[in-house]
Amino acid sequence: MSVNEYLLIIVAGIFVNNFVLAQFLGICAFLGVSQKTETALGMGFAVIFVMGIASIATFAVDRYILVPLDLVYIRTIAFIVIIAGLVQLVEIIIKKLSPALYSALGIYLPLITTNCAVLGVAIVNVEIASYTLLAAFMNGIFSGVGFTLAMLLLAGIREKLRRSDVPEPFKGFPVTLAAASIMSMAFVAFAGMV
Amino acid sequence: MIKKNRLGYFTDGLVKSNPVFRLVLGTCPTLALTTAAMNGVYMGICTTFVLLCSNVLVSALRKIIPDKVRIPAFMLVIATFVTIVEMVLRKFLPDIYSLLGLYLPLIVVNCIILARAEAFASMNTILDSALDGLGMGLGFTLSLIVMGGIREFIGAGSIFGFAIPGFAEKAPAFFILPAGGFLVFGLLIAAVNWLSKKAEDKMKAKAASGVHAHENMTEMLEEAPQ
């Protein structure tokens, strides 16, 4: 793949095909962990990290084990087991190597197993035939960056929203979703780029 | 724990603790697939099947699965049933298979299913778990159809795929874009909040006036703000 194609993956991952605002993946985490910018950033880094590693692992397992052995039909099961195992492994390693990083990311890691963004990127990677291992890794990382960007923006808005007067039935999720709607509209502007 | 009748497990998921509008679970397929009402039917049926089967199997295995590995075990159970759905659809209904696309394998990480396995099926009998799974699944399906119906009607000017002449050409496509999905979802949750607040106030007023207080009243009041 040429440099241009890699550049395309980066722009598409962050802006055009933004996981949250254009593809509706990882909405639970997007709504659940976006109360404060700090926690949003923490969750964001954990997601980028796991999505990068999971992309490599699932892509390699799929292309070098499942496809040659004609076992593609257990892809879903294999991927979810790999991701759950990876998350557990990452948790143990971070805990051992860097207690500071663990206390920052630790609580988010178990949540990532059921974050559909991770499984989503793994499935998207293997379904695009022209992807190489490096392209899959970059798609994982930069889709994660897009996810983090969207979550960080929403967290910023929500911090301001707390000080505004919101009608009773709209408190909580409804007003957050309305804000997400406006953000999503802004991201439509990127649609023509790729 | 208050003993409830069996039917309660079933109806809870439909209205009172509706997975989409009250518990706000499973938001990804809710937003992504509600561009048309029929999508909601397909996705709802697939999810209900997986939810029912995983609830029954988790409940049957609840005394065997060790506590420490229960989450991975639940995930495996769920992934197995999702794979079955994928295989059946690919073979017999390839159109629906490609329509649901990425969101079909993603049923595995639909939080409703894991939440019901963890919070209900792992501590209740098989029959109760089956009723709970069916109720939650149908509640999910209904929510998707309602939201899909609204978005399809306003955004594409059609009802269940049948275009309304004169309106379909002028329909504002905003509502079938992602932005419209977020907005409609937010408005629907707000509407549900408002309606349930009104119902609650009414019940409180009734209980205060003491007119023929229903025997379940206090129980319902306690459970309402979930």
Instruction: Show the domain range for A129.
Output: 3-193
* Closest CA in chain A for residue B32: A24
Q: Which helix (H) or strand (E) holds A96?
A: helix A75-97
Give the nearest chain A residue to B76 (CA atoms): A77
pTM of the model: 0.84
Residue-wise pLDDT for A140-166, tens only, equals 999 999 999 999 999 999 999 888 888
pLDDT at B47 over 80: yes
Cα of B21 to nearest chain A Cα, Å? 10
A49 neighbors A171 (Cβ within 8 angstroms): no
B199 near A CB under 8 A: no
Inter-residue contact B184 to A172 (CB < 8 Å): no
The SS3 call for residue B1 is coil
Domain count, chain A: 1
Q: Do A184 and B102 touch (CB under 8 A)?
A: no
Letter for the amino acid at B183? L
Domain ranges of chain B: 6-223
Which residues sit opposite B158 in a β-bridge?
B163
pLDDT tens for residues A54-68? Answer: 999 999 999 999 999
**B115 touching A (Cβ < 8 Å):** no
DSSP category for residue B19? T
Contact at CB, A169 and B32, closer than 8 angstroms: no
Give me the residue from A27, A31, A76 closest to B79, CB to CB. A76
* Mean pLDDT, chain A, integer: 87
* ipTM confidence: 0.85
Q: Which residues of A are less than 8 Å from B88 in CB distance?
A: none
Give the model's confidence band at B211: pLDDT under 50 very low, under 70 low, under 90 confident, else very high. low
Q: Which of 90-119 (A) contact B at CB < 8 A? A: 113-116, 119
The 10s digit of each residue's pLDDT in B90-138 is: 999 999 999 998 889 999 988 889 889 988 999 999 999 999 999 999 9
